[in-house]
Copies of this chain bind each other. A is one copy, B any other.
Amino acid sequence: MPSTQRSSQSASPARRREILETAARVFAEQGYNATTVRKIADEAGLLAGSLYYHFDSKESMLEEILSGFLDELWAGYDEVLAARLDPKDTLAALVTESFREIDRHRDAVAIYQKEARQLAVQPRFAFLADSQQRFEQVWLETLERGVSAHAFRADLDLRLAYRFLRDTVWVAASWYRPGGGHSPEQIARQYLSMVLDGIAAPG
């Protein structure tokens, strides 16, 4: 009897995880609303009704997918923040860590990108709103510290810059294919180069 069981029964966590990954993939491909539980079941090799042995509901699968992703994301971010690097290095580390999470949770990120705004207003998904708030706080603070330290331009509209950075990084999940030649670190390096120095030729 495992101690940390999320919901429903769970004698074989392997099958459970397998189904959840299938669900994540299909949600990412077709959108949450457009995905039927039957489709998930088909792809996972069981019947629709059988899903309910493993999960309480379609929504609970979604919740588990998103919270699993965010938990790991914040674990990574917290490690970065704990290192107390200077602003520029912090930003670089956050961006790199983000691309690593995109690499590991591509489906979850894609789902997040598409559904988070509408989900966040539901009590059940309040953790999305919480995460967004803390996210904004962390990034804005880093930018502010960077401006103070003359690492970033002083003439920036910081809220705009924050959104610019945030979007820049996360929408990559919509086209990024793991194992496609570029490692997350390589992509991060290129993004950082553009974000920090611009695409215009110097001089």
Q: A interface vs B, CB < 8 Å?
A: 1-4, 30-31, 33-34, 41-42, 45-47, 88, 114-115, 117-118, 150-157, 160-161, 163-165, 167-168, 171-172, 174-175, 187, 190-191, 193-202
A85: shortest Cβ distance to chain B, in Å? 15
A193: shortest Cβ distance to chain B, in Å? 8
A191: shortest Cβ distance to chain B, in Å? 7
Residues of chain B contacted by A202 (CB below 8 angstroms)? 153
B114 touches A200 (CB 8 A): no
Q: List 28 A-B contacts (CB under 8 A).
A: A2-B46, A31-B31, A33-B33, A33-B34, A34-B118, A114-B114, A151-B200, A152-B201, A153-B197, A153-B200, A153-B201, A154-B201, A157-B190, A160-B187, A160-B191, A161-B199, A163-B175, A164-B168, A164-B191, A167-B171, A167-B172, A194-B195, A194-B198, A195-B198, A196-B198, A196-B199, A196-B200, A197-B200
Residues of chain B contacted by A3 (CB below 8 angstroms)? 45
Residues of chain B contacted by A167 (CB below 8 angstroms)? 167-168, 171-172, 174
**Copies of this chain:** 4
A146: shortest Cβ distance to chain B, in Å? 8
B31 touches A199 (CB 8 A): no
A151 touches B2 (CB 8 A): no
A114 to B2, CA, bound (A): 31
8 Å CB contact of A152 from B117, B164, B190, B200: B200
Given A167-B167, A196-B198, do A174 and B117 touch, yes or no (CB 8 Å)? Answer: yes
Residues of chain B contacted by A115 (CB below 8 angstroms)? 31
